[in-house]
Structure 1
Amino acid sequence: MIYNIDSIVWLLYNIYFYMILVYILMSWVPNARDSFIGELLGKLVEPFLAPFRRFIPPIMGMIDISPIVALLVLQLAASGLISILHYIIG
């Protein structure tokens, strides 16, 4: 049973990881975030990225490393959740 929960947590992690990655890459394409998919991803991803952007300023005024930190935190949260589930369930 724990392996099913593991796979669900990792599946959700991977989906959200790639949503963030696509959203970041869309910033390199002009007007990509103005499309339906860009707006949808923005509504799903920005609430997670906003706290990191608030505390981590862009480097040299242009390079935003806050999504990298956010992805690391997301991975740590997924790994921690799986560890806690292993401890609770056995």
Structure 2
Amino acid sequence: MSAVYEYLQIFFQIYSWLIIIYVLMSWLPNVRESFIGEFLSKIVEPYLAPFRRFIPPIGGMIDISPIVALFTLRFVEVGLFAVIEFIMKQI
């Protein structure tokens, strides 16, 4: 079971880094139109879209929805590991 735990932990870390890289790419002109930018968009945007619907940009320019999305992802990770640990203790 520790292998599943490790794989999930690696998945959450990689996905968090993909979100961070995607956000940083917005600071560089035309990077999101590259192959890597489009690839990251397909992976990250479906997760970020619900947050962007409910959290408007501050001052019309500063988008804090990725920060909230990263916090939410971390809470899901911790919660999922707590549930897995609880189930493993019951078995």
TM-score, normalized by length of structure 2? 0.94
CA RMSD of aligned residues (A): 0.7
Indicate yes or no: 2:37 matched with 1:38: yes
Structure 2, unaligned stretches of length 5 or more?
none
Count of aligned pairs between the two proteins: 89
Q: Deviation digits for residues 3-31 of structure 1, max 9, x if unmatched?
A: 32221111000000000000000000000
In structure 2, what residue type is equivalent to 1:28? W
- Which structure has more relative contact order (CA 8 Å, sep 6+)? It is 1
Structure 1, unaligned stretches of length 5 or more?
none
Question: In the aligned structure 2, how far is the partner of 1:36 from the partner of 1:79?
Answer: 33
Indicate yes or no: 2:58 matched with 1:59: yes
Q: Deviation digits for residues 32-78 of structure 1, max 9, x if unmatched?
A: 00000000000000000000000000001110000000000000001
In structure 1, what residue type is equivalent to 2:74? Q
Name the structure 1 match of 2:80: 81
Q: Identity of paired residues, percent?
A: 54
